[in-house]
Chain A
């Protein structure tokens, strides 16, 4: 009888039968190991959670009272004889790759990752393994990122130009990850940074976690529009086109996303500026990260899985496509924000009843998309 793999893909998520735990499950389970706090990876409703220290406050803020244990990078936890440890994924603050080892067999689940050091998330570290479960959100060769120093030099220049022209500057990026990355790279000599409530809540959670962020000021009903217009506004994607945003007119708004690399996607967003900035690895980042693991086989969970696995097989990897609910196939995973509690209804949280009526591959993703529209 062939040996059962250490990790398998089930309709609840990635499962380790030996260790009796799931990684980033999308239906209720007893024991969940979480790569990072974005909503398509950290769902509500599990009995217990294991995550990285720096995800702690954000997860408590987003998921409420949960039974959460957190560990450091490199620390090992033993579950039923299976060794679990976490390594930096460089995606957002507190994002981890999960390394799972049993009897000398090593699997690594990447979660989401990027290979460039963004100066705020602990930089990505390749981990040697036999089997690598990788994302490939931007697994097409048309996606190659510029160094972030260059991107932020452009952003700061654009902000200065707007100040000269007397128009407000609004930068849109989602609340966990992109918002802090932008915040840490703005030229504060230009002015103050003002935040939408959704972003400021996340900032506060991170500060409670000991993360040192640049100073920000929450926009409230009392904020002086004139003062805010002299600074820069950080806003989540859900605010685009809302009355909240329009009250800062005249403004120029920039949308930060890897999808902005394509002119068509940029035009669809109707942003004044498409800022090509992503927390996912680009094409070269993906290929080099997979190569660096020295893995025997690689499983691709979300993104351009079909094309990317075909390419990897052609250049000598043993690559497979698997279907999960992370991001969704070729989906606008990044441009559609991960909803934070303020942005979603309780119905987005899963429950077993809802899951039963929906077939595999279309349940929560749909719900998330629906409520955002």
Chain B
């Protein structure tokens, strides 16, 4: 645990990428193999199962730090991270633990069969034997996610340097379902083939945005200047569903979401078509709700995401299908190095052979001769229930992660309204102790009705100014939430709008964010609920 705590501290102590890689390499070279795999698991989002619920951890931490509950909660508001709050509040300890990360995690997992009393005893003893930095990472293991300010690609880079294996290969080998208990370091660094782990997906290739959300729209001319000749590119709609990779190997099927969640059981409608694919096939595409052969908005699909049990009604109301747009493995062979155009031919062939064309659809190619023509087509995106257009270079290989160059997304401009900030709440992580989470309202007669929350879109400098305003213009406090004097006006952008019975305003927005601070607008000139409702697609 000492080495792991030190790793955290050292990563925090530098802002330079090269330094971070060096720190990671030092860690990989100095700890036992099992610790390496545990660290990899934690840094790629594979946290051990939570064995003590966080309410209990909190309660016992308050006891250990001997402060009233309200003060603990307010401290948490200031720190913005539960694990860190607990370690800061506990009395200083001079102890240090010589147990390895692997040993600690084994102890945590062994709690599964323990009584609440035994868990408490174990936790109190554990806290007492750790110094404050060790306690912090230990609390992270118990409670939190491991957001460390280090991207997975940096960890991979360090591991690639240490092992001499190329980064894309390593990225692939740590995909999919594995836990450090069943995947050893020597397995990881050995030569592998797809057959070693039949469920393992390939790393997703992600498109780069042609225009950032806050930027002005790019003209056809600018796009052409950046991308070159139109005939080198293929264009498709950018579908607004769940990105998924679908695998058929050895008679078994697997559906992976982009967050590397195994989602096979969530989409039973897709099983027949996947089972009918030849063995050794991997498809990339988008899962969407369809009705009468037409895609439906994301909000329909949303009603079935996150449900444990898919009732007959849900399956009937929101049936899904796949719009496939790439093929990564064919006849058991990794074909990611073939060109986009070659892979497309294979995909076409697979789709023509399916007995389930209603469920296994293909992302049709948009015909266009010039960028101007495509720009005009792009205007129809909303009617197509698409988010815009995808551009793929015909000669592109299927790459790893978000890369500039061969795949671009040309999204439509967001819808937007001008709204007044009325509530504010402190953020987390690097936004701790700053008011960064805001609720916005529009006018309904002479009342301001809240309709959206947004966290992103302002620069650090703007956030400081809003924070300063909030602290001096608080009307009321409700726990962590402050009611703020309605005065500041912001332009709020969003991707879609739907009716909602769960919200006071009667509407729900998709992906709301702040586009800009309207210093020029007094609050009286903010938009109205009626103007917002006029955007409903009805």
* Chain A interface (Cβ < 8 Å from any Cβ of B): 140-142, 144, 252, 261-268, 270-274, 304, 307, 310-311, 314, 328-332, 361-362, 366, 369, 373
Chain A residues, Cβ within 8 Å of B75 = 140-142
Interface pair A273/B13, CB less than 8 Å apart: yes
Interface pair A272/B13, CB less than 8 Å apart: yes
Binding-face segment, B80-88, B118-126, B161-169, B317-325 = B80-88
Chain B residues, Cβ within 8 Å of A330 = 433, 471
Given contacts A264-B433, A267-B149, A330-B433, contact A140 B74 (CB under 8 A): yes
- 7 pairs, CB–CB < 8 Å, chain A vs chain B: A140-B78, A141-B67, A264-B428, A264-B429, A267-B149, A267-B429, A272-B14
Chain A residues, Cβ within 8 Å of B81 = 263-264
> What is the size, in residues, of chain B's interface with A at 8 Å between Cβ atoms?
36
CA distance A230 to B531 in the complex (A): 64
Residue among A263, A265, A270, A328 facing the most chain B CB atoms (10 A cut-off): A263
Task: Name A273's closest neighbour in chain B (CB-CB).
Answer: B13
Question: Which residues in chain B, 412-456, are within 8 Å of chain A measured between CB atoms?
Answer: 428-434
Partner of A329, one of B74, B430, B472: B472
Chain A residues, Cβ within 8 Å of B65 = 141
B68 within 8 A of A: yes
Chain A residues, Cβ within 8 Å of B434 = 268
Interface pair A272/B15, CB less than 8 Å apart: yes
B16 within 8 A of A: yes
Chain B residues, Cβ within 8 Å of A366 = 468
Chain A residues, Cβ within 8 Å of B80 = 262, 264
Chain B residues, Cβ within 8 Å of A144 = 88, 92
Task: For the complex formed, measure the closest distance between the CB of B73 and the CB atoms of chain A, giving whole angstroms.
Answer: 10
Interface pair B431/A264, CB less than 8 Å apart: yes
CA distance A252 to B472 in the complex (A): 36
Interface pair A141/B89, CB less than 8 Å apart: yes
Chain B residues, Cβ within 8 Å of A310 = 70
Chain B residues, Cβ within 8 Å of A369 = 464, 468
Interface pair B430/A267, CB less than 8 Å apart: yes
Given contacts A268-B431, A331-B468, A361-B472, contact A263 B12 (CB under 8 A): yes
Task: Name A336's closest neighbour in chain B (CB-CB).
Answer: B464
**Can you list the 5 inter-chain pairs with the closest CB atoms, starting with the nearest?**
A264-B432, A267-B430, A142-B88, A264-B430, A142-B75
Partner of B433, one of A141, A262, A273: A262
Task: For the complex formed, measure the closest distance between the CB of B176 and the CB atoms of chain A, giving whole angstroms.
Answer: 31
Residue among A140, A274, A362 facing the most chain B CB atoms (10 A cut-off): A140
Question: Interface digits, B50-69 against A, CB 8 Å rule (1 contact, 0 not)?
Answer: 00000000000000010110
Task: For the complex formed, measure the closest distance between the CB of B274 and the CB atoms of chain A, giving whole angstroms.
Answer: 43
Residue among B81, B432, B433 facing the most chain A CB atoms (10 A cut-off): B433
Given contacts A142-B89, A272-B16, contact A264 B71 (CB under 8 A): no
CA distance A373 to B467 in the complex (A): 14
The prevalent SS among residues of B at the interface is helix
Task: For the complex formed, measure the closest distance between the CB of A323 and the CB atoms of chain B, giving whole angstroms.
Answer: 10
CA distance A252 to B434 in the complex (A): 26
Question: Which residues in chain B, 134-167, are within 8 Å of chain A measured between CB atoms?
Answer: 149
Task: Name A266's closest neighbour in chain B (CB-CB).
Answer: B12
Chain A residues, Cβ within 8 Å of B428 = 264
Task: Name A270's closest neighbour in chain B (CB-CB).
Answer: B15
CA distance A328 to B471 in the complex (A): 9
Chain B residues, Cβ within 8 Å of A329 = 471-472
B196 within 8 A of A: no
Given contacts A273-B13, A366-B468, contact A262 B74 (CB under 8 A): no
Task: For the complex formed, measure the closest distance between the CB of A100 and the CB atoms of chain B, giving whole angstroms.
Answer: 29
B182 within 8 A of A: no
Known: A264-B432, A272-B13. 12 other contacts (CB 8 A): A141-B67, A144-B88, A252-B14, A263-B12, A264-B80, A264-B431, A266-B12, A267-B430, A272-B16, A274-B12, A307-B71, A328-B471
CA distance A140 to B73 in the complex (A): 11
Task: For the complex formed, measure the closest distance between the CB of A249 and the CB atoms of chain B, giving whole angstroms.
Answer: 11
Given contacts A141-B89, A142-B89, A373-B464, contact A264 B471 (CB under 8 A): no
Given contacts A264-B428, A366-B468, contact A142 B68 (CB under 8 A): no
CA distance A328 to B470 in the complex (A): 12
Interface pair B471/A265, CB less than 8 Å apart: no
CA distance A144 to B92 in the complex (A): 10
Chain A residues, Cβ within 8 Å of B149 = 267
Interface pair A314/B84, CB less than 8 Å apart: no
Task: For the complex formed, measure the closest distance between the CB of B266 and the CB atoms of chain A, giving whole angstroms.
Answer: 35
Chain A residues, Cβ within 8 Å of B74 = 140, 307
Chain A residues, Cβ within 8 Å of B79 = 142, 262-264
CA distance A314 to B460 in the complex (A): 37
CA distance A140 to B149 in the complex (A): 26
Task: Name B91's closest neighbour in chain A (CB-CB).
Answer: A144
CA distance A133 to B276 in the complex (A): 79
Interface pair B472/A314, CB less than 8 Å apart: no
B311 within 8 A of A: no
CA distance A261 to B71 in the complex (A): 18
CA distance A307 to B477 in the complex (A): 12
Chain A residues, Cβ within 8 Å of B94 = none
Task: Name B477's closest neighbour in chain A (CB-CB).
Answer: A306
CA distance A252 to B15 in the complex (A): 9
B461 within 8 A of A: yes
Task: Name B435's closest neighbour in chain A (CB-CB).
Answer: A330
Chain A residues, Cβ within 8 Å of B430 = 264, 267-268
CA distance A311 to B74 in the complex (A): 11
Partner of B471, one of A271, A272, A314, A331: A331
Chain A residues, Cβ within 8 Å of B461 = 373
CA distance A142 to B72 in the complex (A): 9
Interface pair A263/B471, CB less than 8 Å apart: no
CA distance A213 to B161 in the complex (A): 48
Task: For the complex formed, measure the closest distance between the CB of A221 and the CB atoms of chain B, giving whole angstroms.
Answer: 28
Task: For the complex formed, measure the closest distance between the CB of A117 and the CB atoms of chain B, giving whole angstroms.
Answer: 20
CA distance A261 to B85 in the complex (A): 11
Task: For the complex formed, measure the closest distance between the CB of A246 and the CB atoms of chain B, giving whole angstroms.
Answer: 14
CA distance A203 to B84 in the complex (A): 38
Chain B residues, Cβ within 8 Å of A270 = 15
